[in-house]
């Protein structure tokens, strides 16, 4: 498993779940994390160590560090690696080069292109070139799958939607005393969301929509779990709207299921997505969902199982939140249908078994 991730969000949790599953099925798995020099150890590496997944950290001195290529080649030969599995644009590039040098097959999972900034756009353009050299590609959403088809990569592409651990993300199994810690009263209705605090996640629109809803209904709180480069901008917007005591930016949390249990309504305001794991987690917890109609989200839920709205629309977000607040019976029904949908179609076990088929095909 090759990654250059720094956080621990949907893609990273899938990597760890996959590694654990493979080890339980008597496969040898190694997680190799590429990291820019002088940066701290990535969270996925620390979590892998806790889970007893063999994990290694390689520090890169520049964008394409040939020393790392040689180290990876040596590692692959020494450990008898049969398959490389890369997970984002930097590891895709390194993985592809090492794959060709070492004559070891490679599969890349595409978790989604974000176009987050000009710098990211350039990297993702390179990624679109690199994935053409992969032996296999896994698309986690129907929208990514369609993009790969349009690129002429249909024959080497597998569509494997993300899966969620429905046992872990189950409201019946969650015990939490966090309401008191965050100053949530019994009468408070909590609107919640989870994700990286970056532009493509659309949190600025959620905060502005919440401000409009709060002006009409006062016993509301907004709880956002996650961290990222936009945190300071979002904090300033919250102060500007005079909602500092109504909006909680709780930062990155490992005990994420406990925070879902605090929420009454889950909102995913993304501008772009692959197939968001946080959506599956919220549905598995039986939460009613409001989400934007982007990426793989419409594949996961229809309007009968969630409320879908266009992205970047403060007005539509406001209307949807108000509608669910005023209809508690509908909230309960949507939560029930969402849970049923996830349990039948998006279980973690089903997802991991599909990956095992890909590996066996590559090994042959």
On whether the CB atoms of residues 274 and 112 are closer than 8 A, the answer is: yes
353 and 322 share one domain: no
Strand partners, 78: none
Same domain for 77 and 91?
A: yes
Across residues 318-341, what is the average pLDDT? 96
Stretch 161-174: mean pLDDT: 85
Which pair of tokens denotes residue 76? 């692959």
The verdict on 42 and 99 lying in the same domain is yes
Query: What would the pLDDT profile of 222-237 be if each residue is shown by its tens digit?
Result: 999 999 999 999 999 9
Q: Is the torsion defined by CA of 44, 45, 47, 48 positive or negative?
A: positive
Edge-to-edge strand ranges of the sheet holding 106-110: 55-60, 31-36, 2-3, 84-86, 106-110, 136-139, 157-159
89 and 222 both lie in a single domain: no
Per-residue pLDDT at 119? 72
What is the DSSP code string of 51-66?
TT--EEEEEESSTT-H
Residues 189 and 153 in one domain: no
Q: Coil, strand, or helix at residue 248?
A: strand
198 and 245 share a domain?
yes
Do 193 and 323 lie in one domain? The reply is yes
Mean pLDDT of 21-26: 91
Please check whether residues 30 and 90 belong to one and the same domain. yes
With beta carbons less than 8 A apart as the criterion, state whether 348 and 164 touch: yes
Please choose, from the candidates 143, 177, 179, 82, the residue with its C-alpha nearest in 3D space to the C-alpha of residue 300.
Answer: 143
Centroid of chain to Cα 342: 16
| Residue 239 pLDDT level (bands cut at 50, 70, 90) | very high
pLDDT at 11: 85
- pTM to 2 decimals? 0.85
Residue 115: per-residue pLDDT: 63
Tokens 């249908």, residue?
337
Give the structural domain span for 275. Answer: 171-345
- Show the CA angle centred on residue 63, arms to residues 156 and 273, nearest 5°: 50
Contact 289, 306 (CB under 8 A): yes
Predicted confidence (pLDDT) at residue 15 exceeds the cutoff of 70: yes
Percent of the residues in the chain that have a pLDDT greater than 70, as a whole number: 98
Q: Are 109 and 257 part of one and the same domain?
A: no
Q: Are residues 13 and 153 in the same domain?
A: yes
12 and 146 share one domain? yes
Q: What is the pLDDT of residues 190-211, one digit of tens each?
A: 999 999 999 999 999 999 999 9
Q: Of 10, 341, 299, 305, give the one whose Cα is nearest residue 143.
A: 299
pLDDT category of residue 321 using cuts at 50, 70 and 90: very high
Q: Helix, strand, or coil here: 34?
A: strand
Residue with tokens 């042959």, as numbered in its chain: 364
- Specify the pLDDT at position 114: 65
Run of H or E including 292: strand 289-292
Q: Which is nearest to 212 in space by CA: 285, 317, 305?
A: 317
Q: Give residue 61's pLDDT.
A: 87
Angle, helix 203-214 to helix 231-240, in steps of 10 degrees: 20
Same domain, 183 and 194: yes
Cα distance between residue 176 and residue 185, in whole Å: 14
* CATH code, domain with 28: 3.40.50.2000
Q: How many structural domains are present in the chain?
A: 2
Residue in the structure block whose two tokens are 């599953």 = 21
Distance CA 30, CA 92 (A): 16
């Amino acid at each position: 498993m090759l990654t250059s991730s720094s956080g621990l969000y949907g893609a990273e949790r899938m990597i760890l779940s996959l590694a654990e599953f493979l080890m339980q099925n008597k496969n040898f798995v190694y997680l190799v994390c590429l990291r820019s020099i002088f940066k701290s150890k990535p969270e996925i590496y620390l979590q892998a160590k806790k889970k007893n997944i063999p994990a290694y950290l390689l520090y890169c001195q520049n964008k394409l560090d040939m020393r790392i290529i040689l180290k990876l080649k040596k590692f692959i030969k020494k450990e008898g690696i049969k398959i490389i599995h890369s997970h984002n644009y930097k590891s895709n590039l390194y993985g592809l080069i090492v794959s060709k040098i070492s004559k070891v097959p490679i599969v890349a999972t595409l978790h989604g292109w974000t176009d987050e900034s000009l710098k990211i756009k350039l990297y993702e353009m390179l990624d679109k070139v690199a994935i053409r050299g992969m032996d296999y590609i896994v698309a986690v959403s129907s929208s990514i799958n369609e993009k790969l088809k349009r690129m002429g990569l249909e024959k080497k592409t597998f569509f494997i939607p993300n899966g969620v651990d429905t046992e872990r993300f189950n409201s019946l199994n969650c015990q939490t005393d966090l309401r008191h810690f965050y100053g949530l009263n019994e009468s408070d209705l909590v609107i919640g969301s989870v994700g990286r605090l970056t532009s493509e996640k659309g949190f600025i629109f959620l905060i502005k929509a919440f401000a409009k809803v709060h002006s009409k209904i006062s016993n509301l709180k907004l709880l956002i779990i996650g961290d990222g480069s936009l945190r300071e901008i979002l904090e300033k917007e919250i102060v500007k709207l005079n909602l500092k005591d109504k909006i909680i930016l709780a930062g990155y949390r490992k005990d994420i299921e406990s925070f879902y249990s605090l929420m009454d309504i889950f909102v995913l305001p993304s501008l772009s997505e692959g197939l968001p794991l946080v959506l599956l987690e919220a549905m598995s917890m039986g939460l009613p969902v409001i989400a934007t109609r982007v990426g793989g989200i419409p594949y996961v839920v229809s309007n009968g199982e969630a409320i879908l709205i266009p992205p970047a629309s403060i007005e539509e977000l406001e209307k949807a939140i108000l509608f669910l607040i005023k209809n508690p019976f509908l909230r309960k029904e949507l939560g029930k249908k969402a849970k049923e949908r996830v349990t039948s179609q998006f279980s973690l076990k089903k997802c991991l078994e599909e990956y095992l088929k890909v590996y066996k095909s590559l090994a042959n």
